[in-house]
């Protein structure tokens, strides 16, 4: 494994690489097409370079552990407002998440609707492209339109355009208080309506999610409010009134209990034991059609048991689709001609293909986050792109990484 300790080492390593590289930060976000390449670990480039609480900005080397960043921010009453997903529970990985990995995968949580995603907080990057050239873009100030915004392009590019060596990003103060409002038992239609009403209200809802639906399509719905204590109390009250038509609202003001609810939503803890997990980014009003259509597709052969589980995180604009190993096997029944294929693999493939085709028609995109490695090797994990977009994407990659060295194929 290559373990450069400086940006220059890293640049030299890429320039000299004879074969494709598999880029690793903490190794906790193992999804996408498995990369066949020499591991290049960025964890050696570590440390906070600059932190100015009064300017709400931090600069850190890409391999800096997230725990170190969180500790420094907490000491000054600040945080990463986009609450990056911790994938370890879901994927069963064990490493230490790094700040570079967070931005390379644009890992963002349920506060997306209020503050934005990781890409919205990334102010500047330094990276090594596929030629081994060091490039910088953006900076450490909040408003910057000097030249093209390659910062956004790098965020979520999974290392395929360059290896991040340093990131600068915006942080925000931790609000003094928070509350979680819960409607404990709604069906999926009312759940969606309640979340739309809350997100369209002026009460600054910073999270809206319905938990994993039961077999009869019911689950609790959660809403989050943050700010100064009296403001939180006021908005919790207003929002409870607004939601009264959906039922009696329970309010959790204990910060630890409230925070735990949102950590579970952020980390998709409900699907921890599922064999298959996909993330679907669609607009909320598409959801009823999706539910109806998906259930019809995968229910027909086994009316008692759905072939998948669902939870929604409308704060992030996401639907999470999970399936147990047993459900995947059942889904294989939908195949017109299953042949001799492993039924679990076949079921997973049918489900993922279905999600991709739904998004292709209705807009949005679906990404396989967890699935058998053999599946990830065979089918696209990311949403297949329209031909014109795929051509641009390929042409950009060819310019940034002409030797196809950097995580080749991971975003297929």
Partner 1 sequence: MEMPVPDARIMAKKAQLVSRLLEVLPRHAVIDDVAETRAYECDALAAYRCPPLCAVLPSSTNEVAAVLRICNDMGVPVVPRGSGTSLAGGALPTADCVILGVARLTDVLETNYDDRFIRVQSGRTNLSVTGAVEQDGFFYAPDPSSQLACAIAGNIAMNSGGAHCLKYGVTTNNLLGVTMVQMDGTILTIGGAHMDAGGLDLLGVICGSEGQLGVVTEATLRILPKPEGARPVLIGYDSNEVAGVCVSDIIKAGVLPVAIEFMDRPCIEATEAFAKAGYPMCEALLIIEVEGSPAEIDEQLAVIKAIAQRHNPVELREAADDDQAKRIWLGRKSAFGAMGQINDYMCLDGTIPVSELPYVLRRIGELSVEYGLGVGNVFHAGDGNMHPLILYNANTPGDLEKCEAMGADILRLCVEVGGCLTGEHGVGIEKRDLMHVQFTAADLEAQMVVKDVFDPKWLLNPAKVFPLDSSAGRRV
In the region spanning residues 49 to 68, those forming contacts with partner 1, defined by CB under 8 A, are 52-57
Residue 295 in the binding site for partner 1 (CB under 8 A): no
Q: Which of 48, 55, 315 lies closest to 172 in space, CA to CA?
A: 55
Among 161, 221, 243, 310, which residue sits at the site for partner 1 (rule: CB under 8 A)?
Answer: 161
Minimum distance, C-beta of residue 199 to partner 1, in the bound complex (Å): 7
Chain centre to alpha carbon of residue 97: 14
DSSP letter for 137, please.
Answer: E
Asked if residues 65 and 50 have their Cβ atoms less than 8 Å apart, the reply is no
Q: Name 318's Cβ contacts closer than 8 Å, sequence gap at least 6.
A: 279, 280, 281, 312
Strands 276-281 and 205-210: unpaired
- Number of residues interacting with partner 1: please give it, by CB under 8 A: 85
Residue 95 in the binding site for partner 1 (CB under 8 A): no
Residue 407 in the binding site for partner 1 (CB under 8 A): no
Please classify residue 344 by burial: count the beta carbons closer than 10 Å to its beta carbon, then call 0-12 exposed, 13-18 middle and 19+ buried.
buried
3 state SS for 119-136: HHHEEEEEEECCCCCEEE
Minimum distance, C-beta of residue 94 to partner 1, in the bound complex (Å): 27
Minimum distance, C-beta of residue 178 to partner 1, in the bound complex (Å): 13
Minimum distance, C-beta of residue 41 to partner 1, in the bound complex (Å): 24
Using CA atoms, how far apart are residues 40 and 25, in angstroms rounded to an integer? Answer: 9
Is residue 324 classed as helix, strand or coil in its secondary structure? Answer: coil
Residues numbered 210 to 249 that lie near partner 1 (CB under 8 A) are: 227-228, 230-231, 234-235, 238
Minimum distance, C-beta of residue 53 to partner 1, in the bound complex (Å): 6
Residues numbered 373 to 402 that lie near partner 1 (CB under 8 A) are: 382-383, 385-386, 388-389, 392-393, 395-396, 399-400
Residue 72 in the binding site for partner 1 (CB under 8 A): no
Q: Which is nearer to partner 1, 200 or 303 (CB)?
A: 200
Locate 14 and state its tokens. Answer: 């890429």
What is the per-residue binding string for partner 1 in 102-141, x denoting contact by CB under 8 A?
----x-x---xx--xx-xx--------x---xxxxx-xxx
Residue 285 in the binding site for partner 1 (CB under 8 A): yes
Using CA atoms, how far apart are residues 350 and 362, in angstroms rounded to an integer? Answer: 18
Q: Which is nearer to partner 1, 152 or 260 (CB)?
A: 152
DSSP letter for 262, please.
Answer: H
Residues numbered 165 to 184 that lie near partner 1 (CB under 8 A) are: 172-176
Mark the segment that binds partner 1 (CB under 8 A) among 19-27, 143-151, 241-249, 368-376.
Answer: 143-151
Locate 81 and state its tokens. Answer: 């407002």
Distances (CA, A) of 211 to 78, 177, 367: 28, 23, 20
Residues numbered 246 to 275 that lie near partner 1 (CB under 8 A) are: none
Is residue 1 classed as helix, strand or coil in its secondary structure? Answer: coil
Using CA atoms, how far apart are residues 50 and 8, in angstroms rounded to an integer? Answer: 20
Mark the segment that binds partner 1 (CB under 8 A) among 1-9, 260-268, 277-285, 335-343.
Answer: 277-285
Minimum distance, C-beta of residue 235 to partner 1, in the bound complex (Å): 8
Residue 151 in the binding site for partner 1 (CB under 8 A): yes
Among 88, 218, 272, 365, which residue sits at the site for partner 1 (rule: CB under 8 A)?
Answer: 365
Minimum distance, C-beta of residue 305 to partner 1, in the bound complex (Å): 29
Residue 204, Ramachandran bin (φ over 0: left; ψ between -120 and 50: alpha; else beta): left
Using CA atoms, how far apart are residues 245 and 372, in angstroms rounded to an integer? Answer: 43
Residue 44 in the binding site for partner 1 (CB under 8 A): no
């Amino acid at each position: 494994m290559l373990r450069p300790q400086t940006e220059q080492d890293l640049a030299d390593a890429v320039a000299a690489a004879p074969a494709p590289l598999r880029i690793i930060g903490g190794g906790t976000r193992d999804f996408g097409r498995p990369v066949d390449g020499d591991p290049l670990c960025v964890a050696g480039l570590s440390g906070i370079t600059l932190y100015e609480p009064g300017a709400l900005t931090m600069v850190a080397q890409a391999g800096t552990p997230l725990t170190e960043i969180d500790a420094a921010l907490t000491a000054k009453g600040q945080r990463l407002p986009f609450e990056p997903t911790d994938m370890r529970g879901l994927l069963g990985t064990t490493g230490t998440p790094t700040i570079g990995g967070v931005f390379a995968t644009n890992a963002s949580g349920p506060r997306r609707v209020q503050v934005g995603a990781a890409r919205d907080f990334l102010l500047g990057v330094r990276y090594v492209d596929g030629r081994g050239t060091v490039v910088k873009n953006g900076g450490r100030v909040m408003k910057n339109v000097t030249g093209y915004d390659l910062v956004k392009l790098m965020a979520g590019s999974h290392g395929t355009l360059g290896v991040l060596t340093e990131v600068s990003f915006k942080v925000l103060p931790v609000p003094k208080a928070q509350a979680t409002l819960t409607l404990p038992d709604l069906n999926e239609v009312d759940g969606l309506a309640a979340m739309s009403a809350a997100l369209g209200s002026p009460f600054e809802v910073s999270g809206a999610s319905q938990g994993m639906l039961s077999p009869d399509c019911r689950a609790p719905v959660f809403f989050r409010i943050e700010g100064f204590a009296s403001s939180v109390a006021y908005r919790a009250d207003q929002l409870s009134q607004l939601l009264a038509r959906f039922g009696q609202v329970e309010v959790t003001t204990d910060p630890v209990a409230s925070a735990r609810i949102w950590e579970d939503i952020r980390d998709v803890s409900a699907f921890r034991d599922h064999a298959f997990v996909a993330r679907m980014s669609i607009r909320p009003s598409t959801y009823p059609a999706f539910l109806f259509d998906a259930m019809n597709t995968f229910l027909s052969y086994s009316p008692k048991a759905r072939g998948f589980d669902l939870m929604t995180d409308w704060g992030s604009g996401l639907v999470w689709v999970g399936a147990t190993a047993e459900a995947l096997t059942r889904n294989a029944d939908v195949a017109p001609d299953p042949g001799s294929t492993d039924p679990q693999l076949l079921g997973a493939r049918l489900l993922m293909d279905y999600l991709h085709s739904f998004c292709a028609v209705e807009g949005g995109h679906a990404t396989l986050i967890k699935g058998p490695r053999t599946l990830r090797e065979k089918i696209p994990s990311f949403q297949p792109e329209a031909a014109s977009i795929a051509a641009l994407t390929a042409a950009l990659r060819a310019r940034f990484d002409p030797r196809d060295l950097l995580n080749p194929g991971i975003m297929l």
